[in-house]
């Protein structure tokens, strides 16, 4: 029975890595579509999100079955409960990649954002992709040095997110109401993607150490 239980735990861990890998593909393709007004790539991201949703539901059902039938305790219980919460964050990251693609589709063939913010959003995209890649690596390796990398990238995203709103509040901002709404939504999507990446990283840290560290500790 113990071997079966450990196999079930391993499958749940592998499921998280699979979902995270799909999220990484989604944010990479979505941000490329966003930057180039690529409708086909945007449509592919939107369609592929159903696979992420399916895998999350399947993983959660398996985790709940293990809770009900195996009665895990201590570190095994942390693993199961943590997996349920991490799968929710990963699924939400997939949703946010889809939202970015939906903005691309909505404004096609025009760009979503004005030229004045192209460089800022390019940097936001790079940081989100970095976070996604490192989250996948972290889930596989449990190397806690990656947690600091993820937190540092999120700190940069937060700074860029603030500069976007500062630009829109400046007297020089002359864009239409529709563009202003699009920029607001897009910046929020990029910023929230990073938030969920941090959430996954902190839960992995908890699984490894058994201690829930405050955010400022992880960024130190």
Number of domains in the chain: 1
pLDDT above 50: residue 204? yes
Q: What is the pLDDT of residue 218?
A: 43
Contacts by 58-65, CB closer than 8 A, 24 or more apart: 58/15, 59/12, 59/15, 59/16, 59/19, 59/83, 59/87, 60/84, 60/87, 62/8, 62/11, 62/12, 62/15, 63/12, 63/87
State yes or no: pLDDT of 101 exceeds 50: yes
* pLDDT value at 122 more than 80: yes
Residue 128's domain is classified under what CATH number?
1.20.58.220
Q: Does 220 or 68 have the greater pLDDT score?
A: 68
Give residue 129's Cα distance to chain centre.
9
Mean pLDDT for the chain?
93
- DSSP letter for 116, please: G
DSSP 167-219: HHHSTT----HHHHHHHHHHHHHHHHHHHHHHHHHHHHHHHHHS----HHHHT
- Among the ranges given (18-22, 52-56, 72-76, 202-206), the one the predictor scored with the smallest mean pLDDT: 72-76
Query: For the residues 82-96, what does the mean pLDDT come to?
Result: 96
pLDDT(219) > 50: no
Extract the tokens encoding 83.
Answer: 């997996």
Range of 131's domain?
A: 2-218
Least confident interval from 23-27, 38-42, 78-82, 211-215: 211-215
Task: Provide the whole-model pTM.
Answer: 0.93
65 has a pLDDT exceeding 80 = yes
> In the predicted model, what is the mean pLDDT of residues 157-168?
98
> Is the pLDDT confidence value at 152 over 60?
yes
The pLDDT of residue 1: 56
């Amino acid at each position: 029975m113990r071997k079966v239980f450990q196999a079930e735990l391993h499958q749940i861990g592998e499921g998280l890595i699979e979902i995270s890998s799909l999220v990484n593909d989604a944010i990479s393709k979505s941000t490329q579509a966003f930057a180039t007004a690529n409708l086909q790539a945007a449509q592919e991201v939107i369609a592929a999100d159903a696979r992420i949703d399916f895998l999350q539901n399947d993983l959660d059902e398996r985790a709940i079955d293990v809770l009900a039938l195996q009665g895990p305790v201590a570190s095994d219980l942390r693993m199961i409960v943590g997996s349920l919460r991490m799968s929710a964050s990963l699924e939400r990251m997939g949703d946010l990649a889809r939202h970015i693609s939906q903005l691309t589709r909505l404004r096609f063939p025009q760009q979503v954002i004005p030229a004045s913010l192209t460089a800022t959003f390019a940097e936001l995209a790079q940081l989100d992709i970095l976070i996604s890649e490192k989250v996948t690596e972290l889930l596989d390796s449990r190397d806690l040095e990656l947690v600091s990398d993820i937190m540092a990238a999120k700190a940069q995203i937060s700074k860029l997110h603030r500069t976007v709103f500062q630009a829109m509040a400046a007297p020089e901002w002359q864009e239409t109401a529709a563009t202003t709404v699009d920029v607001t939504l897009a910046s929020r999507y990029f910023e929230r993607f990073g938030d969920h990446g941090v959430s996954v990283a902190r839960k992995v840290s908890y699984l490894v150490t058994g201690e829930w560290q405050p955010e400022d500790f992880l960024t130190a």
